[in-house]
Amino acid sequence: MTSHSQSLFPALAPDLILKKQAGRWHIVDMSARLAAADAEKIAQLKGRFVEQVFPDCSPPLASLLDELLEQGQDVLNIKLRLRPAANPLLANFRLAGLSADYVAPLAQIFLRPESIASRQETGYAGLIGTSPAMREVFRKIELYAATEAAVVITGETGCGKELVASALHQRSQRSQGPFAAINCSAISEQLLESELFGHEKGAFTGAIRTHRGHFEQAQHGSLFLDEIGEMPLQVQSKLLRVLEDGRIQPVGSEASKPVDVRIIAATNISLEQAVHQGRFRADLYHRLAVLRIHLPPLRQRNEDIALLADHFLHQFNLRYHKQIQRFTPEAINILDAYLWPGNVRELRNLIERLVIENQAPAISARALGEWVRERQSFNPASGEFSTAGAEPLLSMREFPTETDYIDVKALSSDKNAPPDRASLQQAFIRAQGNIAAAARLLGIHRATFYRHLHRLGLSREDLGQ
């Protein structure tokens, strides 16, 4: 057990202690507060099967405990609903004395309410993350939201810069006003000028009516200028005048109008470099870059990946009417191993795909197999699928894909049989004598592989014969 997981287990006694005997989990002990919540006496619950005490637990408690045993490691922050009408609880599972007692392993469960406060521990103003880098982003949002100064948000494409801009607006005194957003790189120069400042009827071909631009739409609120580094120089000049005198002049109009708008800009390129290259006005740069927030890429905050994956899983479960409960530890390990060139947006798209495709109660490493093969052949520099000339985005030597797994059931006439000597030996040989890799090929934990060896009276040396 790592020091990180150790810190997630309180010094207090566990809420449930369970033992597996004869293939079923029995309750050994239960905390007073949990027993009181269940309105039953502890003495009456001891020795009973866990599925008898919690028959409607979601996800099923016995299945989680079996996975705990299969993985041979702690399982953290699983959301449990012990009874249909009960509030959800966050559960941490810990093995107790597994290495000393394979016959009757013990499991401990620590529960805590998923309160509003605990949910807020994973994010801020709609942004998800607990990493130091994201904590710094949250600190700056809180600090800068109270001001009227312009803010520039920097970061790679897909990091969530618009979410930061929205959070700045929501936390500001302008929160009751409108929040308008425009992508400066997605619109032609003439149309961008019209979209920002508006135009009069007949100002140009196709201007069949007067149009209010984004500055007027954001009056007394905030205007988010995304990809401002791609704004044409002529439009930059007009934007600078608006920032200096607080007035706009619609296209085709001889009169100007006052506007009261806070500017929040974002860019995925270096504005300093753009100024040096003559693509961005130096005076506009100094006028805009009063305050800066840098949003780190996802590959620099791996500790946030599991939180984001769970967040998107819940989101898409609701959208597609699914009830997928969680990711297996192996699936999370694969997500952690990826470099995420598309950042949070790419992770969100993947989770949507997995929710649509998956029929099981948990998303496993096998469910990621096709995606893994796609990522291994993708060259982010060219945007094409290629295996040549690029550092891999995902090194999957540790993780077998769905075509690598050995089908134990196909090797035996008994479809419910555990791995036999043939399947253990086949995995061992394919993994070149690496027990951990052989266990992964069978879809089991290394400790489980050793238990099957013991059951069959085999040694490691026997497998190499």
Q: pLDDT confidence of 281, banded at 50, 70, 90?
A: very high
pLDDT recorded at residue 353: 96
Read off the DSSP letter of residue 48.
S
Domain shared by 289 and 317, yes or no = no
Q: 101-105, 421-425, 430-434 — which is least confidently predicted?
A: 101-105
pLDDT recorded at residue 465: 62
Rounded CA separation 75/69 (Å): 10
Question: In degrees, to the nearest 5, what angle opens at C-alpha 102 toward C-alphas 101 and 107?
Answer: 75
Indicate the Cα dihedral angle 434, 439, 443, 446, nearest 10°: -130
Indicate the Cα dihedral angle 389, 370, 328, 116, nearest 10°: 80
Q: Pick from 281, 296, 311: which residue ends a domain? A: 296
Rounded CA separation 217/214 (Å): 5
Domain shared by 135 and 254, yes or no = yes
Contacts of 153 (CB under 8 A, 6+ apart): 161, 164, 165, 264, 265, 266, 267, 292, 293, 294, 295
Question: Which residue's entry shows tokens 């016959």?
Answer: 103
Domain shared by 109 and 161, yes or no = no
pLDDT at 389 over 60: no
Q: Pick from 378, 400, 422: which residue ends a domain? A: 400
DSSP H or E segment with residue 245: helix 233-245
pLDDT at 222 over 90: yes
Look up the domain containing 50 and give its range.
3-113
Rounded CA separation 424/428 (Å): 6
Question: Is 118 within the bounds of a domain?
Answer: no
Q: Write the single-letter amino acid at 362.
A: A
Domain shared by 252 and 183, yes or no = yes
* Predicted structure pTM score: 0.63
Number of domains the chain is built from:
4
- Indicate which CATH number applies to the domain containing 352: 1.10.8.60
pLDDT at 214 over 80: yes
Domain shared by 142 and 247, yes or no = yes
Domain shared by 222 and 128, yes or no = yes
Would you say the C-alpha torsion 199, 200, 201, 203 has a positive or negative sign? Answer: negative
Average pLDDT, the chain: 79
Rounded CA separation 444/428 (Å): 13
Q: pLDDT confidence of 287, banded at 50, 70, 90?
A: very high
Domain shared by 197 and 332, yes or no = no
Question: Is 412 within the bounds of a domain?
Answer: yes
Question: Is 30 within the bounds of a domain?
Answer: yes
- Per-residue pLDDT reduced to its tens digit, 3-21: 334 444 555 678 888 888 8
Q: Which residue in 326, 334, 428 sits closest to 59, CA to CA?
A: 326
- Indicate which CATH number applies to the domain containing 413: 1.10.10
Question: Is 314 within the bounds of a domain?
Answer: yes
Q: Is 131 exposed, middle or buried (0-12, 13-18, 19+ CB in 10 A)?
A: middle
Q: Pick from 345, 367, 400: which residue ends a domain? A: 400
Phi, psi at residue 222, to the nearest 5°? -130, 145
- Per-residue pLDDT reduced to its tens digit, 91-142: 888 876 554 444 567 888 888 775 544 444 566 777 888 888 888 898 899 8
Question: Is 177 within the bounds of a domain?
Answer: yes
- Indicate which CATH number applies to the domain containing 229: 3.40.50.300
Domain shared by 247 and 166, yes or no = yes
393, 338 Cβ separation under 8 angstroms: yes
Question: Is 73 within the bounds of a domain?
Answer: yes
Domain shared by 267 and 162, yes or no = yes
Mean pLDDT confidence for 373-390: 56
For 405-433, what is the HEC assignment? CCCCHHHCCCCCCCCCHHHHHHHHHHCCC
Peptide bond connecting 113 to the previous residue in cis, omega within 30 degrees of 0? no
SS3 assignment, position 39: coil
Q: pLDDT confidence of 445, banded at 50, 70, 90?
A: low
Contacts of 443 (CB under 8 A, 6+ apart): 366, 405
pLDDT at 59 over 80: no
Domain shared by 64 and 12, yes or no = yes
Contacts of 180 (CB under 8 A, 6+ apart): 214, 217, 218, 221, 222, 223, 224
- Indicate which CATH number applies to the domain containing 83: 3.30.450.20
Domain shared by 24 and 103, yes or no = yes
- Per-residue pLDDT reduced to its tens digit, 254-269: 788 899 999 999 999 9
332, 356 Cβ separation under 8 angstroms: no
Question: Is 83 within the bounds of a domain?
Answer: yes
pLDDT top residue among 7 and 219: 219
Domain shared by 48 and 100, yes or no = yes
Question: Is 284 within the bounds of a domain?
Answer: yes
131, 303 Cβ separation under 8 angstroms: yes
Q: What letters, b where the CB count within 10 A reaches 16 and e where it falls short, cover 191-230? A: ebbbbbbbbbeebeeeeeeebebbbbbbbebbbbbbbbbb
Phi, psi at residue 345, to the nearest 5°? -60, -40
According to DSSP H, which parts of 280-406 are helical? 282-288, 305-320, 329-337, 343-357, 369-376
